[in-house]
Structure 1
Amino acid sequence: MSLNILDLLRADGSIVVNKKLAHQIGLETAAIYSELVSLFQYWSKRGELVDDNKEKSAQAKWFFVTIENLEENTTLKRSKQDKAIKKLKELGLIETRQMGLPKKRYFTITEKINEFITAHKSVENKHSDNDSGSKVDNEANNSSNTENTQSVENEHSGVSNSNTLNCSISTTNNTRTNNTKINKESIVNKNVNNYSSISKNSLENENQENEIKKIEKEFQSKGLSSKVIRLVKQEVDAKKNEIKNYIAYYRTCLDNALYKSQFKKGEITELYPHLPDDHPLRINWLQ
């Protein structure tokens, strides 16, 4: 392999992930975190971070990134992004906030990473000290056991060897039996839990799909075209990650689209007269 190809692989197309952090929080979570940190630094250097009111200021700390951009830069799909972001929030390494109209998800990087790394270094050092102490104790015990065994063997030369061998074989066999039993039980329990989780998720997804079809038929019967319904669903699905109640939100959007369709056809004369022109309900779904 030539040097030029190696240089190319190390260029901007690479994903930089800290190995120790990946061991602690998982490779995919570390990849998302690394990308968010890079974006934070990028916008910070350009003075493009915003505050809670979406204004640029000295205290600004928020930046916006789409699901599509995260996927492009990390190769991780939405489901894996959501899992990683949830874990990073639980660890206190990032914060998120919904801002603007329509709502968009903004991120910021906390200073928790300093405590996080320091805490894990302390744990590593503690384990290292314990390992060293255990090694010394084990060596001392082994030395003592060797002297005792040799003393017994000198007094009972033939019998001691036979008993020692039999005890060793018995202990080993019992350990293997217990470990095999525990491993089998763990596998069975894990499979049962996984199956229960999959069954529950499948049932919830099936119920939601049935409810979606029922709502769409309802609005078709009210005069909303299948094309408009499809466009509304695409808009809703694009925000699916930010919606708490998908069915209720979808129904509201279809209801808004129906009113606008009726307004366009002249069936109603004024659409949301009490709302300002830039209100989200005045967005034209039909264009």
Structure 2
Amino acid sequence: MFDFSIFSDAQAWISLLTLTFMEIVLGIDNIIFISIVVNRLPPEQQQRGRTIGLVLALLFRIGLLLSISWIVGLKEPLFHIDLPWTESNFGVTGRDIILFFGGLFLIGKSTTEIHTKLQGEEEHEGGAPVYSTMTRIILQIIVIDIVFSFDSILTAVGLVDSVLIMILAVILSMAVMLAFSGLVSTFVNRNPTIKMLALSFLIMIGVMLVMEAFHKEIEKGYIYFAMFFSLLVELLNMRLRKKVEPVHLRDSTFD
């Protein structure tokens, strides 16, 4: 089914490493989302939830890679809409529909999480934290996995011709993300400002997906640079806050 002889060519290995790196970069937003929603589970179930989420993402990506002709077909218009401010019809594709509703879901979910954090964690009458069910969390992960999988696979198709290289790159990238997902989740959830920043990133990505649904392409390099720069500034702020000593007031004596 697959021709493994392509790996006798050094170019195939370069393509594999390049695509694996790209898949890891594109999967950062997926890890962030999974880390945040899995935090709604009881502590003893969170690692299981992260693993299930990333395994589902892997299965979605491999399944889509084995259906490349269908993926390419999603870029063909399903119907057209007459827009009064343009001279041509707007062709709505299957990809546009998936990106539009996926983007809205990401915006809505991230905004709800921010609202919850600002209002305080939901509690029972006894003060114990409210946990979500595994089924509900997995359903949310499935929705966003589908959206991010399309973005990831379309990038892979544009970079590499070999389906075997694409599948291996996806497997390697998912293995790396699975290895570090626990550390990312712990870091995000232990630092409220980082968590708020991560939720803001997800809103920005959701807006980008909606704009792409309307054929307004945004260079992803700008998005990832903005995310990296904001994260760097926040890390510097965190380090500065640790170094700053609290101010101690002295008693004043009056004559």
Q: TM-score, normalised to structure 2's length?
A: 0.27
- Tell which structure's C-alpha radius of gyration is larger: 1
Higher relative contact order (CA 8 A, sep 6+): 2
The normalised TM-score by structure 1 is 0.25
